[in-house]
Amino acid sequence: MTSRTAAQITVFKVAATYIGTVVGAGFASGQEVLQFFSVYGLDGLLGISLSTLLFFFFGYLILIIGHSLNATSYVEVVRFSNGNFLGTIIDVIITIFLFAALAAMIAGAGAIFEEQFHLTPLWGTLLMAFISLLTVISGIKGVINAISYVVPILLVTVFFVAIYSLYVNPINAADLQVADTLQGAGPNWIVSALNYTSYNLVIAVAVLAPMGAKAESRKTLFWGALLGGLGLGLGIVAIFLSILTNLEMVWNVEVPMIMISSKIAVFIQLLFAVVLFAEVYTTAVGNLYGFVSRINFISDRYHIWVIVGTTITAFFVSQVGFSAMVKYLYPAVGYGGLLFLGGLLYVWIFKRDKLTD
């Protein structure tokens, strides 16, 4: 690790990359926040608080394990934390999910083109596949830069919509009554918060593990994980409040945040659609990079062709459709990802002394 490479991994880039790998079509659209938090009414804030804490703690653990192992891919972190047997199972789960989530993001881009720009979804899927491919070919530096540039724009846009929603339409009893009638992603806010954190960390580990290896110190990783976790928490709160104040209107809408932004102005609606597309891009890039870095047994001379082949295959799989993939895939992976979090917790309790700087 050269000092020049390490110096490029700043606290801001760690935080922004962490946020960028978690947010995506489900987060920025508001659909994930609706299903995992808003349906529990004000109790959803307790779930968000729990998720924020877990994002910081487990995100930091992944980063410092990657740093200690000088990891080149997430598989080293998984095997270290969960052993060979469970590690192999979790490795397979993560690898499959990274590819499937990449296909879901490509499908999501097509849905945005069709619903918001009234263009054929084929153009959206082709564009997302192409720009993701180009970014990943440039390596981890390109991935980190691409993600970190988009994140501040998303957060500013989300906070603006949330503040406007609270100003013109404060939380009322009718919205809370609607929340009481809805079925959430879990039986209660605790299970939903754990599941939400789990499946998002399954995605994030693909980028966090090798990024941790390139950072100069654990101090950088600590503050990056803390700011990243807080940024995710604040972003979720902003979307949560936007949805809760409009729950009667958006509880059965595919893209709640765009529906809410349309109440402000057509320009804001289009702006949010562009931001949503950008966030789908950050997640697609993270998924593609993580999947390809796992296929490290193939010779480097074929690396570009692996990226191209993976992207083309994901493009064809994406034709299944965005909502169908997310509805069944994400919660299932979330429960499987709890095994991974259990392994990380084991490392923190029993193997912390092996995590060297």
* Mean pLDDT in residue range 249-266: 82
Question: Does residue 272 carry a pLDDT above 50?
Answer: yes
Other C-beta atoms lying within 10 Å of the C-beta of residue 92: 11
What residues contact residue 250 under an 8 Å CB cut-off, 6+ apart?
30, 34, 243, 256, 259, 260
Residue 239's closest CA among 254, 260, 222, 223?
260
- pLDDT confidence of 1, banded at 50, 70, 90? very low
* Mean pLDDT in residue range 50-60: 97
> Cα–Cα distance between 40 and 22 in angstroms, integer?
22
What residues contact residue 154 under an 8 Å CB cut-off, 6+ apart?
23, 28, 235, 275, 278, 279
Other C-beta atoms lying within 10 Å of the C-beta of residue 188: 11
> With contact defined as beta carbons under 8 Å apart, do 311 and 288 qualify?
yes
Residue 12's closest CA among 227, 250, 321?
227
Mind giving me the DSSP string for 99-139?
Answer: HHHHHHHHHHHHHHHHHTS-S-HHHHHHHHHHHHHHHHHT-
- pLDDT confidence of 191, banded at 50, 70, 90? very high
Token pair listed for 95: 């690898």
The residue assigned the tokens 């110190």 is: 217
Other C-beta atoms lying within 10 Å of the C-beta of residue 42: 12
- Cα angle at 256 between 128 and 12, to 5 degrees? 60
Question: Does residue 130 carry a pLDDT above 70?
Answer: yes
The residue assigned the tokens 């949503």 is: 276
Question: Does residue 27 carry a pLDDT above 80?
Answer: no
Give the model confidence (pLDDT) of 206-249 as tens digits: 889 999 988 888 899 999 999 999 999 999 999 999 899 888 88
Using a pLDDT cut of 70, give the percent of the chain over it: 92
Per-residue pLDDT at 322: 62
Per-residue pLDDT at 298: 61
- pLDDT confidence of 115, banded at 50, 70, 90? confident
Greater confidence (139 vs 128) lies with 128
The residue assigned the tokens 């994002």 is: 55
Per-residue pLDDT at 143: 76
Q: Is residue 357 packed enough to be buried (19+ CB in 10 Å), middle (13-18) or exposed (0-12)?
A: exposed
> With contact defined as beta carbons under 8 Å apart, do 31 and 38 qualify?
no
> Cα–Cα distance between 66 and 70 in angstroms, integer?
6
Helices within 8-43 (DSSP H only): 11-22, 25-29, 31-36
Question: Does residue 9 carry a pLDDT above 90?
Answer: no
Question: Does residue 31 carry a pLDDT above 70?
Answer: yes
Highest mean pLDDT among 2-6, 105-109, 219-223, 293-297: 219-223
> With contact defined as beta carbons under 8 Å apart, do 133 and 307 qualify?
yes
Token pair listed for 268: 């804001």
- Cα angle at 257 between 171 and 30, to 5 degrees? 90
pTM of the model: 0.83
> Cα–Cα distance between 183 and 158 in angstroms, integer?
25
Other C-beta atoms lying within 10 Å of the C-beta of residue 227: 18
> Cα–Cα distance between 104 and 319 in angstroms, integer?
9
> With contact defined as beta carbons under 8 Å apart, do 284 and 94 qualify?
no
